[in-house]
Amino acid sequence: MHLDVHVAAGAAPQERRAVVAASVQRAVAMGATRVREVDEPTGDCVVVLDPEGDEFCLR
């Protein structure tokens, strides 16, 4: 299973990267592992793994 978590929904376009970056930092502080950044037609996302190895994207 793969989840897309829209953490920057409603943020102004120029603020989205900062909102996502802050969310990635919080996830990593709670045990997630940052894997990669992805530039998709639907928008950028950062792929992370939870402590059990399940993948999800923060957008």
Render pLDDT for 6-57 as a digit per residue (tens, 0 to 9). Answer: 999 999 988 999 999 999 999 999 999 999 999 878 778 999 999 999 999 9
Which amino acid belongs to residue 22?
A
Per-domain residue ranges of the chain: 3-58
Residue 51: count other Cβ atoms within 10 Å of its Cβ. 9
User: pTM of the entire structure?
Assistant: 0.88
Residue 39: predicted pLDDT: 87
For the domain covering 3-58, report its CATH number: 3.30.720
Beta-carbon-side half-sphere exposure of residue 57 (alpha carbons within 13 Å): 16
